[in-house]
Structure 1
């Protein structure tokens, strides 16, 4: 299986000092802790003051993990997005950022970075009521969509599951299958462990994840609404995080997320319904 992220890495972590961005730093640090490299925290100076307590918190965590980490500041002369795009041209391999805040699932900055940059990106959406990710990720769900972008999510899952913080965690590969309205089903979802003859979608990936010592459970999830069923399954099984590989070309536009049964609709519904963080891996 081709590696989506390869060591060593130079990772950009844009932040504004919001609480949910602690989770973003957590993901960036875990990746570099396993892969090697450095994390650069990047803050565009503007009207909002820098929260030194936030910087002290993430710096302390980086020191604990022995991560090379420093913060770079830039005076705002253009839009925040333009400043970030300019910084990304300085030899970064990966950008790990928050989905943002506001009434939309993804804020303007995250949306524009996805659209205008070509660098690999991890965008973390943390529900408002969630709080902070646990130090040990006991259960990682990977959404299998039978697309080429699945490699993104599986690669990140393998890195996170190899981290010393999560080495005893479980990786669950979830294959959502929509149940037609003509078929009676009373539950939000029905999950079955994927049968041996149906493991084609996980054959190569599953073997590789097992080789690194992580337990892999491939399951098929049947539901009227795949995203809502997946969110309910994640909640009931106490998943710590959900990973989804995403193509920039298929990512929601202003209108496609409103079309039922579309890929964009699935993603937006999952982000809105999930009670745990969802990490989108953009190639």
Structure 2
């Protein structure tokens, strides 16, 4: 007997908003997975609406799954042209069939999530509360070295080892807000412009974003309710030039089930620009 789950590939910026429009994500994905997979969107009874929740759900073996990506070099670094997930299941269709089109997804500027549907029911998104009472404070810009000398912190590493913003991580929420106020007071006493300060509560979204900062594909993982959740970020230059506007501008890309021998793959294809071969 094969234990099945429901795997979701969805837009990170809205993954926690499904209950606002009806059934929880796990209820919707279970129904789609029982039919072999499908495209979830809002409104559910009409065509996909711009800027609303979107995802694709498929049945999958209830175990860790292999995820692969093909890339090409875009404006500021590598971006995904092909995402594949081995679902750990036999090919369900006609032995001669090669693919099943499930739907088309835009690339969310907040990134894309891949994970178990039931685990994602408890995902805390961009505007949620801290899950552990902690937050991270970061600051960067023209006077960052002066601020670092006054307030300390460590340099966050980014892709290719480049130095990121200074920051103090895992602070209790009240300490994080006090530090932001202290930096603000310091700036006002000797007026300076060009320093940006941010305090990010430990939501699941933020922890995934933090985990992927130094990865070439901005890929980060966390554990949520016993399942591994993967977030894929997107190069800002590539998104603003090729994918900006998302569904409103018909910037959507095919998600399919593919036969690989006797097994089944979930595949998302995002073509490279014609003059930039894969």
When normalised by structure 1's length, the TM-score is: 0.31
Larger strand share, 1 or 2: 2
- Flag the structure with more relative contact order, 1 or 2, with Cα contacts below 8 A and sequence separation at least 6: 2
